[in-house]
Every structure is written in C-alpha cells, then in structure tokens.
Structure 1
C-alpha cells in the first residue's frame, strides 16, 4: 500500500456525539455526577450541547427515539480510576462491567449513562 496524501494533514480534536432522549436529564448526569461543564448549546428548545471537562469533550444530541446499543460508545481515560469508580457507585450510576485490572495495562470499568450509552473508563497502569 502506498503512502496516503492524508498522512501530511494534522488532525485536531475528535469528540463523541451521543444521542440522548432527554438532553436536560443527560446534562444533569454529565455535569452533576461526572463534572462536565456546558460550553455551547444550540436550538430552541435546546437540541445540542457541547460539554467539557479538562481535555475531554462530549457532544449531546437530542433524539427522543434513541435506543442504546450494546457496544461502548467511547473510551475515556481518568487519572484516578478507583476514586472515579467510587463516585459513580455512590451516585448510583449503572455499572455494566466491574472495575478490574486488564491484561493490556489498564484498570477499567464500563458505565451506562441514563440513556444506556456505554462508556468504557480506564486508567493506564505502569507495566
């Protein structure tokens, strides 16, 4: 395979866009439990939001007919997986896969947001 012309192009941020049935309820979850802040919203009524926390960015898009999939919609790294897991458990967040050390050098778990969107959360561990 030859070299692609796209190899000379620098890519910027990539942010997952999550469909949610109730954008206000989703915002309450992502801001109140996970600590994200709204940096943009669009529509009247609001149908789209951009949320940020540190280097992480999530886009929420209202879709009242949304049905969650059984695959993870994105992976997010955190600096203290054990503390984050405790926060999620204390808040009653639905944990899909239990917190455990993985053979590929991460400690991770999978949670579901109120719309059933699955998020794989991990922390890289030294080898």
Structure 2
C-alpha cells in the first residue's frame, strides 16, 4: 500500500496542446515526479521538491475553458518554484537544449524592513507557461545587498 499523497492547498492545473511533450518536459527535463494520472483525457498530477501542479490535455468540451486558448499560454502569470539545486536544474535544461526566458540572476526583494534574496531564472514550458525557479539566498538588512544584485522595492 502506498502512502497517501499530501496535496497542497493550491495546485495550478495547466492545459496542454501536446500532453506527451509537456509531460516529458516536466518529468524528464525538470525532474517532476508523477504522483498519479489518467489516460482519457491525458492528465498527470506532478510534484517537484514539494511544489505540485497538474497537466491536462486540452479537450474542447471536457476542459474548463473561459476563453480561446492561444500560445503562449498563461500570459500575465509566472509560477515560482523553489529548488535546492538551481545549478543542477540549469544543467538539465542546457543538456536538453532548452533556452531560458531570463538568465540566472540574484534578486533581493523588499519585505518590510528586510531584503529577501533569491537566485532565480525563468523558462517557458512547451505551451509558453512561464516558470520561475529560485533558490533561497536568505535575508539581509535593507542597507545591505550584494554589489550588482537587482533590488526590487
């Protein structure tokens, strides 16, 4: 008997034009694990270091569409996914020949009276959904950040 799945309270479900291509990108390239799925319509519930998302093949009548889907999907949103191994993820993307949407950078974000830092990059999935992978750099006082790092107020 397998252990029950600890479902996150918020899990985005991404509709895909080509489920097989999206599933390969998330699983083989990025390293997401399939927790469960079904074949009709193609669907997978995935997890990566505690982050969860769902993929589903677009089926005109079965999908919950609120309007016309046209690439790139997900305009106006990015999904931040924390990882403990940003460099390993970057290496897998490079081996797969996948271009980054934004190169790795260190960014410091104002959070009250502190700066919260993360090293991050952005990549688009096969449908254009924007994924922002980040690795924690800790916190600092407002008056202290790395030289050359981007500070977002």
Give the TM bin, normalised by the shorter chain: 0.7 to 0.9
Which structure has the bigger radius of gyration?
2
Partner of 2:91: 86
Partner of 1:97: 102
Say if 2:138 is the partner of 1:126.
Answer: yes
Say if 2:53 is the partner of 1:51.
Answer: no
Unaligned runs of 5+ in 1: 1-11
Equivalents in 2 of 1:109, 1:66: separation in Å? 24
Q: Kindly indicate whether the alpha-carbon contact (under 8 Å) linking 1:41 and 1:50 is maintained by their aligned counterparts in 2.
A: yes
Offset of residue 91 of structure 1: 1.4
Q: Kindly indicate whether the alpha-carbon contact (under 8 Å) linking 2:49 and 2:83 is maintained by their aligned counterparts in 1.
A: no
Equivalents in 2 of 1:71, 1:92: separation in Å? 25
TM-score in terms of structure 1 length: 0.78
**With CA pairs under 8 Å and 6+ residues apart, which has the higher RCO, 1 or 2?**
1
Partner of 2:122: 110
CA deviation map 1:89-110 (0-9, x unaligned): 2212231111011122111010
Unaligned runs of 5+ in 2: 1-7, 60-68, 110-116, 140-153
1:16 aligned to which of 1, 4, 12: 12
Question: Post-superposition, which runs of at least 4 consecutive aligned residues in structure 1 deviate over 4 A?
Answer: none
- How many equivalent pairs are there? 115
Offset of residue 66 of structure 1: 4.9
Offset of residue 55 of structure 1: 1.0
Q: Kindly indicate whether the alpha-carbon contact (under 8 Å) linking 1:50 and 1:57 is maintained by their aligned counterparts in 2.
A: yes
Equivalents in 2 of 1:87, 1:42: separation in Å? 27
Equivalents in 2 of 1:92, 1:70: separation in Å? 23
Name the SS of the counterpart of 2:93 in structure 1.
Answer: helix
Judging changes above 3 Å, is the alpha-carbon distance between structure 1 residues 121 and 63 closer, same or farther for their aligned structure 2 residues?
same
Structure that is richer in helix per residue: 1
